[in-house]
Amino acid sequence: MPDPASKRASFRPTVNGLITGSVAALVLISLIAVIALQWTVSRRNTIELMDGLSGLFLEYLERAVHNHLQPALAQAESITRRIEDGSYELRDRERLRDLLTGALAATPQVATIRAWDENLSYLAVVQDREGKLTFTEGDDRGKPFATTTAPQMRHALGPAWGDLVARPPEVFVNLRWPVRQQGKYRGFMASGITVDELSRLTTDLSEYFDTTAFILHGREQVLAHPNMAITNGEFIIGDVLPSLHQVGDVVLAEIWNGKPLSGFEDAANNTRLVKVTLAGIDYVVISRQLTAYGQQPWIIGGWFTHERVSKELTRVKLAGAISILLLVVSIIGAILISRLVSRPVKRVAEGASLVGRLDLEKVGRLAPSRVKELNEQAEAFNTMLASLRSFETYVPRSLVRRLMRKGEHQEVASEARQLVVLFTDIAGFTSMSETMSAQEVAGLLNAHFALIGRCVEAESGTVDKFIGDALMAFWGAPDKQPDIANRACRAALAIRDVITADNHSRREAGHEPIRVRVGIHMGEVVVGNIGWPGRINYTIVGDTVNACQRLEALGKDLDAGDDVTLLISGEVVSGLSEPFAVEPIGAYAVKGKTAEIEVFRLLAQGHTDDVAGGSTPVR
């Protein structure tokens, strides 16, 4: 991509000045200048258009892979949390069956879950394509997989992706994770996630982008391809995925023999673009490597004919010839045409500026133009705008805008900072969801998160992530806020109000009310960009986060029967600068911390009898 600094330094004549001034000066020189400029700019625009198309296509494909596998990670975290907080035991097979049954119901792409205790006795549940469940129990002592995996899991910190397993007609990705209770290793679990849906996704993206999408496992095996979406697994031979030469795609078979595409030698985002020539026809193959799903990297990409790019330059040649005739005929006509051109260009620039500030709601669709290139530009802009609006659901726009205000070209460095962290969780959600369909569960969670998320953002908090039925948020970053404790407590009270009002409506409609636990803690965390170049999150990590989650879980033991249980730590009470009514509960030891935490129940904002932040907490 062009360097922004060099673009600012380059000469940028206006369309009126370029066309009118060139014609007025000398027709011949202006003709040469216009043609050369058109060719250079169009070639540059073609390269940028290709780079943008490649990036958008690969982002779509990478997002599809992520969306297919991410629920399995969320499922693993949810199951682990239920076992770690003592709600379930690996050896209590009857209750464990209920837990795994509910987990599978919400994740149809997970075909099997197996749980081993520390003695390698296991309970396995298998879900077929029709959703039928089969349970088996056994003992894996002495068997290769369990005996080699168990020592790894004993020292593992969390879920990890394993190698692919092919069982015709399906292929599975292994997700494995350890299980601990009170810090002691109790066993491990593994789930098998089907990837057959990825071939159907490549078919949809191929049709949408007019290309042929694919996903490779390593350099030689094909994991997903439109040809594999209609074969019901016939390409899988034994335990082996098809090779590049077996899937029936002659262009894909030459991916590693292609030559780097001119102008894309320094492609960003780990993107590779090469040209493959077969039977006198040139093809462009774009690809990107993903390393998050096991030891063997995945390579996502697609290919299309080079004619889709070169025809733009052909049109430029034709436009140059026509422009010579028009410039010779009339300078006045050139002035009128330049004005006709400059207006839609200016509208594109204005729209692009709004897009750069993420003000998508202020950007209107560009009207069609009678000029072919400008009309194509308008259509491309409108297509880009529609794509960005489809993406904005997944982007925390408030956080991104605050980061942009912090410094457009500055990298967000990780740092230690004093923040307030808030966790919410739905009490008894597992049992509630067991009687609901996947669509009902998703609808309930979406409505619930919409209610409480608005409360957090109303107090300028950052919603960090959703973990199953839990929400995590924080205050104090990226903007420094002197009253972070006040903001978090006001948000928690607002959550209590909206949940109470929502439960009133649910009871009137004959539905079970939703009871929520909220924990708020303050302390030092590491905040900044965490992840890898292909997947970065602005998030927080540290002991304060863990302590806050444990404080929220403590609400299970301190539940007074209210719709919402609000617990805050002594550190939060000390940080309050406005009056809040609180009730001291006492000092409690939570898992993962040696020192006890002073726990208070948050009652209201303002004075009652005594108020925290002004005198003594309510007793």
The H or E element spanning position 261 is none
Contacts of 370 (CB under 8 A, 6+ apart): none
pLDDT at residue 234 in the model: 57
The model's pLDDT over 293-306, given as tens digits with 9 standing for 90+, comes to 878 889 999 998 87
pLDDT at residue 35 in the model: 59
* pLDDT at residue 251 greater than cutoff 70: yes
The model's pLDDT over 183-194, given as tens digits with 9 standing for 90+, comes to 888 888 888 888
Q: How far from 351 is each of 343, 346, 383, 389, CA to CA, in Å?
A: 12, 8, 13, 14
Q: Compute the CA torsion angle 538, 542, 547, 549 (nearest 10 deg).
A: 30
Q: Compute the CA torsion angle 335, 338, 342, 343 (nearest 10 deg).
A: 70
- Of 349 and 617, which is predicted with more confidence? 349
CB 521 within 8 A of CB 571: yes
* Distance between first and last Cα of the chain: 63
Least confident of 173-177, 227-231, 570-574, 583-587: 227-231
Placement of tokens 């202006």 in the chain = 30
What is the secondary structure of 491-515 as a DSSP string?
Answer: HHHHHHHHHHHHHHHHHHTTPPPP-
The H or E element spanning position 387 is helix 372-391
- Rounded Cα–Cα distance for residues 464 and 396 (Å): 9
The model's pLDDT over 224-245, given as tens digits with 9 standing for 90+, comes to 888 887 765 555 554 578 888 8
pLDDT at residue 505 in the model: 92
* pLDDT at residue 490 greater than cutoff 90: yes
- Of 324 and 538, which is predicted with more confidence? 538
How sure is the predictor about 182, in pLDDT bands with cuts at 50, 70 and 90?
Answer: confident
The model's pLDDT over 70-96, given as tens digits with 9 standing for 90+, comes to 888 888 888 888 888 888 888 888 888
How sure is the predictor about 321, in pLDDT bands with cuts at 50, 70 and 90?
Answer: low
* pLDDT at residue 23 greater than cutoff 60: no
Region 414-429 average pLDDT: 90
- Tell me the range of 166-170, 330-334, 578-582 where mean pLDDT is highest: 578-582
- Rounded Cα–Cα distance for residues 437 and 21 (Å): 69
State both tokens at 144: 């290769």
pLDDT at residue 409 in the model: 42
* pLDDT at residue 120 greater than cutoff 60: yes
Residue 598's CB is within 10 A of a number of other CB atoms, namely: 17
Q: Could you tell me the domains of the chain?
A: 13-49+310-394 (no CATH), 398-605 (3.30.70.1230)
Region 252-258 average pLDDT: 90
Residue 334's CB is within 10 A of a number of other CB atoms, namely: 23
* pLDDT at residue 24 greater than cutoff 50: yes
Query: What mean pLDDT value characterizes the chain?
Result: 78
* pLDDT at residue 41 greater than cutoff 60: no
- Of 162 and 545, which is predicted with more confidence? 545
* pLDDT at residue 271 greater than cutoff 90: no
- Rounded Cα–Cα distance for residues 469 and 103 (Å): 12
User: Position 345: which residue type?
Assistant: V
CB 165 within 8 A of CB 217: no
User: Position 85: which residue type?
Assistant: D
- Tell me the range of 116-120, 322-326, 393-397, 492-496 where mean pLDDT is highest: 492-496
Nearest to residue 222, comparing CAs of 248, 197, 203? Answer: 248
Least confident of 246-260, 390-404, 467-481: 390-404
pLDDT at residue 494 in the model: 94
Region 548-575 average pLDDT: 90
* pLDDT at residue 8 greater than cutoff 50: no
pLDDT at residue 18 in the model: 56
pLDDT at residue 408 in the model: 47
